């Protein structure tokens, strides 16, 4: 299926699917009905969950309500890695016959080897539907030209699955991809005049900065009206959002998802104050306290980690999967009429560092550095020169100097940055200032804000000041 029936009828609609405006009571009723069906399916087809439930001493038949679901142990990334290793390529949690699998995708493998996910025909159609809701909430309409700025290679869900969803909703994907290079992306932008540009926020900022050199014009003259960003927390950072809107002369909305449940299931509406959960007929989402694992309600201002259970998934279903995404609930009501809670993601468990007992997300440091422009140029990296994720020493932070700032003033800038970090984030940083453009510009891969190895342009003594 390339295009859903009556795709063009969605153009200009207030929402993509009725579930987006359904009452909480109706959503719970539907979810519990589908949860019972999913439990029955897993009891027959998933070796992984048969073993997991047996070890926990619980029965699939006992899981009938959302309250019952809270008794099921979490599934974590390492569980899935062990499952994949035990029965490659799709693991013990493959719950469909190999003959019914028509597509596979891969995670980015940022914390280990890539994880391969299987999809049946029904799974692919569900992924298309979920992602179409996300794109639609973010301002993509049937008939739009959409310039593809996510990586199209390596099996990432930002590639082919995003292209499939764009086709499904009746828009036209311009499949250049970040791996096609900045030059080709910009020339395709000038040639096809897309209304929408999708990609990772840091990369799209870099693309905009190269427009004068490659095209002889600024990015805001290319006619892009809507930016849809995702793949990294930068889309929720005010300084990055403002810079993107100014550079492209376009409106920005953020989306979020992942390989294990789908592609996109959170999308930001025109209110631009957080991403709605759009797919509660396909996914049960819980919010937990990451320290106690206690389920907490979605209420404005609350923070926690997202946990997901797939509904109706056939090939690679997960139950109570700890996503590692740490979020803040921005609201539970919205002028757009959607009823799903709104969130911003401020970091991931994989990225979090503990500095003298303080939880630190590198994206929070990046936000501060961006706010200090033009004294800095907004580019920073954490240098984690210690084992694991915890240190009792001051955290090393490398910051690129602003293009017009004198190296002779670095001592003053260091003091300013260290004080800003201490006041805002409650930990002591050891800051090193380096020349502009010291770090490689963003490309097809996500920007890694934490370095585990010393950059080649630094010496062992550079942090002595």
pLDDT for 129 beyond 80:
yes
The DSSP string of 389-433 is TEESSPEEEEEEEPTTS-GGGHHHHHHHHHHHHHHHHSS-EEEEE
Percent share of the chain, pLDDT over 70: 97
**Alpha carbon distance 265, 287 (integer Å):** 15
Domain range list for the chain: 1-273, 353-451
List alpha helices for 216-338, DSSP H. Answer: 238-248
pLDDT at 101: 97
* Cβ atoms of 353 and 450 closer than 8 Å: yes
**Does domain 353-451 correspond to CATH entry 3.30.300.30?**
yes
Tell me the pLDDT of the chain averaged across its residues: 93
Please give the share of the chain, as a percent, with pLDDT higher than 90.
Answer: 76
Q: Predicted confidence band at 354 (pLDDT cuts at 50, 70, 90)?
A: confident
For the record, the structure tokens of 175 come out as 């499949």
Residue 75 · residue 47 · CB < 8 Å: no
CATH 3.40.50.300 fits 1-273, yes or no: no
Q: Is 0.75 surpassed by the pTM of this model?
A: yes
Structure tokens at 450: 């934490």
- Phi/psi for 66 (5° steps) reads -65, -35
CA–CA separation, 75 and 199 (whole Å): 29
CA–CA distance, 383 with 398 (Å, rounded to integer): 7
Q: What average pLDDT does the segment 78-106 reach?
A: 95
Q: Please answer whether residues 104 and 155 qualify as being in contact, where contact means their C-beta atoms are separated by less than 8 angstroms.
A: yes
| Average pLDDT for 199-205 | 92
User: Which tens digits make up the pLDDT trace of 394-409?
Assistant: 999 999 999 888 888 9
**Region at 227 (left for phi over 0; alpha for psi -120 to 50; beta for the rest):** beta
The tens digit of pLDDT for each residue in 227-237 reads: 999 988 788 88
């Amino acid at each position: 299926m390339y295009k859903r029936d009556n795709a063009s009828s969605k153009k200009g609609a207030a929402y993509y699917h009725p579930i987006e405006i359904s009452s909480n009571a109706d959503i719970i009723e539907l979810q519990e009905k589908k949860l019972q069906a999913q439990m029955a399916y897993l009891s027959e087809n998933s070796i992984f969950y048969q073993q997991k439930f047996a070890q926990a001493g619980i029965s699939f038949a006992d899981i009938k309500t959302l309250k019952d679901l809270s008794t099921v142990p979490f599934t974590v990334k390492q569980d899935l890695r062990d499952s994949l290793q035990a029965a490659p390529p799709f693991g013990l949690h493959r719950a469909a016959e190999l003959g019914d699998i028509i597509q596979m995708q891969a995670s980015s493998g940022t914390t280990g080897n890539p994880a391969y996910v299987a999809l049946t025909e029904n799974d692919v159609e569900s992924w298309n539907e979920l992602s179409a809701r996300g794109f639609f909430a973010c301002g993509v309409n049937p008939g739009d030209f959409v310039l593809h700025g996510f990586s199209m290679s390596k099996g990432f869900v930002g590639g082919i699955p995003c292209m499939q969803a764009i086709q499904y909703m009746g828009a036209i994907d311009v499949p250049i991809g970040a791996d096609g290079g900045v030059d080709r992306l910009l020339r395709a932008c000038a040639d096809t005049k897309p209304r929408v540009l999708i990609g990772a926020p840091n990369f799209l900022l870099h693309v905009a900065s190269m427009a004068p050199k490659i095209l002889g014009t600024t990015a805001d003259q290319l006619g892009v009206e809507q930016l849809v960003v995702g793949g990294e927390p930068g889309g929720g950072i005010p300084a990055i959002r403002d810079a993107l809107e100014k550079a492209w002369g376009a409106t920005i909305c953020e989306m979020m998802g992942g390989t294990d449940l789908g592609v996109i299931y959170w999308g930001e509406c025109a209110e631009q104050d957080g991403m709605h959960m759009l797919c509660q007929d396909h996914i049960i989402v819980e919010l937990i306290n990451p320290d106690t694992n206690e389920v907490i309600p979605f209420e404005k201002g609350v923070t926690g980690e997202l946990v997901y259970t797939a509904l109706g998934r056939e090939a690679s279903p997960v139950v109570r999967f700890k996503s590692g995404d740490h979020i803040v609930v921005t609201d539970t009501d919205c002028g757009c009429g959607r009823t799903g809670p709104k969130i911003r993601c401020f970091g991931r468990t994989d990225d979090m560092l503990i500095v003298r007992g303080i939880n630190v997300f590198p994206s929070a440091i990046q936000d501060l550095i961006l706010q200090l422009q033009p004294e800095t140029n907004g580019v920073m990296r954490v240098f984690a020169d210690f084992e694991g994720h915890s240190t009792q020493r001051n955290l090393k932070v490398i910051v690129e100097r602003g293009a017009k700032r004198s190296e002779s003033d670095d001592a003053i800038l260091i003091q300013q940055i260290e004080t800003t970090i201490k006041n805002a984030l409650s930990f002591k940083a050891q800051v090193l200032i380096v020349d502009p453009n010291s770090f490689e510009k963003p490309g097809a891969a996500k920007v890694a804000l934490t370095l585990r190895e010393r950059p080649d342009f630094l010496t062992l003594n550079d942090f002595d000041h």
